[in-house]
Amino acid sequence: MREFDDEVLECFLENQLQLFPEKVAETMEEAEDFLEECMAVVVNSVDEVIEYFEEEGIDIEGAMDEEILSADEVFDVGDGRYLIVEG
């Protein structure tokens, strides 16, 4: 099973400019290759986004959920899941 399904890949393709100054992928295949290369992860909830940042040692002390979810690295897939891409 692919780690990145079509919804995740489409989300990244549509929103990649929030994190990068220019497009890094034009096709679903390029998006999947890029996300695998940069070790992107898909999580299932806001709590898992917070947990991910804490495990990575990123200081989110006192940050509100909305602030965390508006980070450039966080992409809202639209179905309750979030894609986290380290730029």
Q: Pick the residue with more confidence: 43 or 2? A: 43
**Global pTM?**
0.91
How much is the pLDDT for 2? Answer: 59
How much is the pLDDT for 77? Answer: 97
Number of structural domains in the chain:
1
How much is the pLDDT for 82? Answer: 98
Q: Is residue 64 part of a domain?
A: yes
70 is in which domain, residue-wise?
Answer: 6-84
How far is Cα 87 from Cα 85, in angstroms, rounded to an integer? 6
How far is Cα 28 from Cα 9, in angstroms, rounded to an integer? 6
In DSSP terms, 75 is beta-bridged to 83
Q: Kindly state the average pLDDT of the residues 42-56.
A: 95
Percent of the chain's residues with pLDDT above 70? 97
Q: Is residue 1 part of a domain?
A: no
Q: Kindly state the average pLDDT of the residues 50-73.
A: 91
